[in-house]
Amino acid sequence: MEQNHFDCIVVGFGGVGSAAMRYAALHGWNVLGIDRFGPANNRGSSHGQTRVIRKSYFEHPDYVPLLQDAYECWDELNKRHRTAPEVKELLTQCGVLQVGPEDGTVVRGVLNSAGQHGLAVERFTSDEIHRRLPILNVPDGHVGVFEPEGGFLRVELCVAAMIKQALANGATMKSGVQVNAWQVDDHGTVHLQSNQGSWSADRMIVCAGPWTGQLLEGVDLGLTLLAKQQHWYQLDRVEQKRVNQFPCFLFEQSDGACFYGSPELDTLGMKVCEHTGGRPLESADQLDRGIDPDQQTRVETFLKQHFHFTKQRLVHHSMCMYTMSPEERFILDHHPDHQQIVFAAGLSGHGFKFAPVLGRRLVQMLDGTPDPKFDFLRTPKGDR
Ligand SMILES: Cc1cc2nc3c(=O)[nH]c(=O)nc-3n(C[C@H](O)[C@H](O)[C@H](O)COP(=O)(O)OP(=O)(O)OC[C@H]3O[C@@H](n4cnc5c(N)ncnc54)[C@H](O)[C@@H]3O)c2cc1C
């Protein structure tokens, strides 16, 4: 007979939900994970071949201890996942080069985080960057900071590996199942209704990415959505774009616009995206997956300004969504009326690298275990 009651239900198993499922199962809970599109799907925010990971976090030094934990978690997961040399690694440390005006948000922020936490970074002038990576064109007056420990995560492989570990530890998975409603009864039990049945649990973790606002209707989170296009290009200048020859990169321009990418790997070209900008969306279901010519033009203008080549070819593109919180900081919290419900929201386009620590933290929150490393996320931004 199918089981209907669980210790914990996780709604959504993208990056954070798959990690939460895994840690909830490792915690000994009988876990049900539900996702409307299934494992490693290309409909939410955890898809598109790679996610950049870096430790000298320009966004704020308080994220660094979480990143140090995240590196350990990815390493541990990778050891379980990489059962043979031909299995692709989850995390590739090809380094990250972050370029921008010396007093800009990125370079200043990277150096600040590296200085406060004693992280290894190397600083280069525009001439030095050009000598090392001749394909790059860095404007005079802009500098680069190279972080050797940075790199990229293979996003779909990471999600699949976390789900595999969750299942190996006893979790149950329901794919293609959409949660439509939930209630809490007088005994504190959470009841879920979906398009394919109903289940109940003692606790619930909501990791629905861009759909979180819909599932937590009535909780004022101030979330907004941006449609973001990921592009893969083949440039006619082939040297130094492939992995092991070229790092991930992030360029802040003088006007504050920010572009980033990862080296060419597998059969796709070099990935290039804009971190700033994006098209506002009313709801996640409204996303148009066709190509957005404005985002393409902005990325191609960036490429022409900062890379030397004569011809480029867009070989692939894919639409994704940023779920923005008002201050671009992650929101990890209990439901205001139900302590047995926790959620992660508003990862603001930089959450994947933290997925295992966020998933683990959600489980700890339900368990009542404190972790002061996360306290900064609750402090008003001006006080940090
Ligand atoms: C283009 C792009 C580039 C990015 N680059 C980086 C980067 O380089 N580094 C980095 O760290 N981060 C990056 N991010 C951010 C990062 O990818 C996200 O913060 C992270 O993947 C969000 O994961 P999530 O689990 O919260 O959401 P999602 O991955 O969106 O997962 C939510 C899941 O919930 C499911 N769901 C929703 N509603 C329901 C429902 N009612 N019933 C059942 N299931 C439901 C969905 O099907 C989905 O699978 C990027 C994001 C984008 C879009």
Are 22 and 159 contacting, i.e. CB atoms less than 8 angstroms apart? no
Amino acid at 93: Q
Q: Please tell me if the CB atom of residue 182 comes closer than 6 angstroms to any atom of ligand 1.
A: no
Average pLDDT, stretch 18-31? 98
| pLDDT over 80 at 384, yes or no | no
CATH class for the region spanning 5-46+156-221+327-383: alpha beta
Question: pLDDT tens digit string along 201-248?
Answer: 999 999 999 999 999 999 999 999 999 999 999 988 755 566 668 899
Average pLDDT, stretch 28-45? 96
| Ligand 1 atom with the shortest distance to the CA of 209 | 27
Amino acid at 283: S
| pLDDT over 80 at 1, yes or no | no
| pLDDT over 70 at 254, yes or no | yes
Angle at 29 between CA 25 and CA 34, to 5 degrees: 65
Task: Tell me what pLDDT residue 267 has.
Answer: 82
C-alpha of 139 from chain center:
29
Q: Which residues pair with 249 in a beta bridge?
A: 97, 261
Q: Please tell me if the CB atom of residue 39 comes closer than 6 angstroms to any atom of ligand 1.
A: no
Are 322 and 280 contacting, i.e. CB atoms less than 8 angstroms apart? no
Residue 75's pLDDT band (boundaries 50, 70, 90)? Answer: very high
Q: Distances in Å between the alpha carbon of 104 and those of 277, 304, 349, 382?
A: 17, 22, 20, 19
Q: Please tell me if the CB atom of residue 207 comes closer than 6 angstroms to any atom of ligand 1.
A: yes
Domain ranges of the chain: 5-46+156-221+327-383, 96-148+224-324
Rounded to the nearest angstrom, the distance between the alpha carbon of 350 and the centre of ligand 1 is 10
Mapped onto helix, strand or coil, the DSSP state of residue 41 is coil
| pLDDT over 90 at 42, yes or no | yes
Task: Tell me what pLDDT residue 261 has.
Answer: 97
Q: Please tell me if the CB atom of residue 353 comes closer than 6 angstroms to any atom of ligand 1.
A: yes
The pTM of this model reads 0.97
- Joined together, the tokens standing for residue 332 give 């990890």
Average pLDDT, stretch 286-302? 96
Task: Please enumerate in sequence order all residues whose Cβ is within 8 A of that of 58, keeping only pairs 6 or more positions apart, or say none.
Answer: 98, 105, 106, 107, 108, 109, 110, 112, 113
- What percent of the chain lies above the pLDDT cut of 70? 96
Residue 20's pLDDT band (boundaries 50, 70, 90)? Answer: very high
Task: Tell me what pLDDT residue 2 has.
Answer: 77
Average pLDDT, stretch 22-34? 98
Question: Roughly what angle, to the nearest 10 degrees, separates helices 355-367 and 15-26?
Answer: 50
Task: Tell me what pLDDT residue 170 has.
Answer: 98
Rounded to the nearest angstrom, the distance between the alpha carbon of 322 and the centre of ligand 1 is 8
Are 49 and 199 contacting, i.e. CB atoms less than 8 angstroms apart? no
Average pLDDT, stretch 74-88? 95
The rounded distance, in Å, linking the Cα atoms of 54 and 233 is 23
Residue 378's pLDDT band (boundaries 50, 70, 90)? Answer: confident
Task: Tell me what pLDDT residue 72 has.
Answer: 98
Q: Mean pLDDT in the chain? A: 95
Rounded to the nearest angstrom, the distance between the alpha carbon of 209 and the centre of ligand 1 is 5
Q: Which residues pair with 230 in a beta bridge?
A: 318
Q: DSSP assignment of 200-229, as one string? A: EEEEEEE--GGGHHHHTTTS----EEEEEE
Q: Please tell me if the CB atom of residue 273 comes closer than 6 angstroms to any atom of ligand 1.
A: yes
The CATH number for 96-148+224-324, chosen from 3.40.50.1980, 3.30.9.10, 2.40.160.40, 3.40.50.720, is 3.30.9.10
Task: Tell me what pLDDT residue 241 has.
Answer: 60
Question: pLDDT tens digit string along 265-280?
Answer: 888 899 999 999 999 9
Rounded to the nearest angstrom, the distance between the alpha carbon of 167 and the centre of ligand 1 is 20
| pLDDT over 90 at 381, yes or no | no
Mapped onto helix, strand or coil, the DSSP state of residue 11 is strand
The rounded distance, in Å, linking the Cα atoms of 143 and 138 is 8
Same fold, 5-46+156-221+327-383 and 96-148+224-324: no
Residue nearest to atom 3 of ligand 1 (CA): 349
Task: Tell me what pLDDT residue 12 has.
Answer: 98
Q: Which residues pair with 313 in a beta bridge?
A: 234
Question: pLDDT tens digit string along 161-177?
Answer: 999 999 999 999 999 99
Question: pLDDT tens digit string along 135-151?
Answer: 899 999 999 999 999 99
Q: Which residue has the tokens 């504050």?
A: 256
Residue 35's pLDDT band (boundaries 50, 70, 90)? Answer: very high
Question: Considering only CA atoms, which of 352, 293, 343 is closest in space to residue 321?
Answer: 352
The rounded distance, in Å, linking the Cα atoms of 187 and 203 is 12
Torsion sign over Cα 297, 314, 38, 266: negative
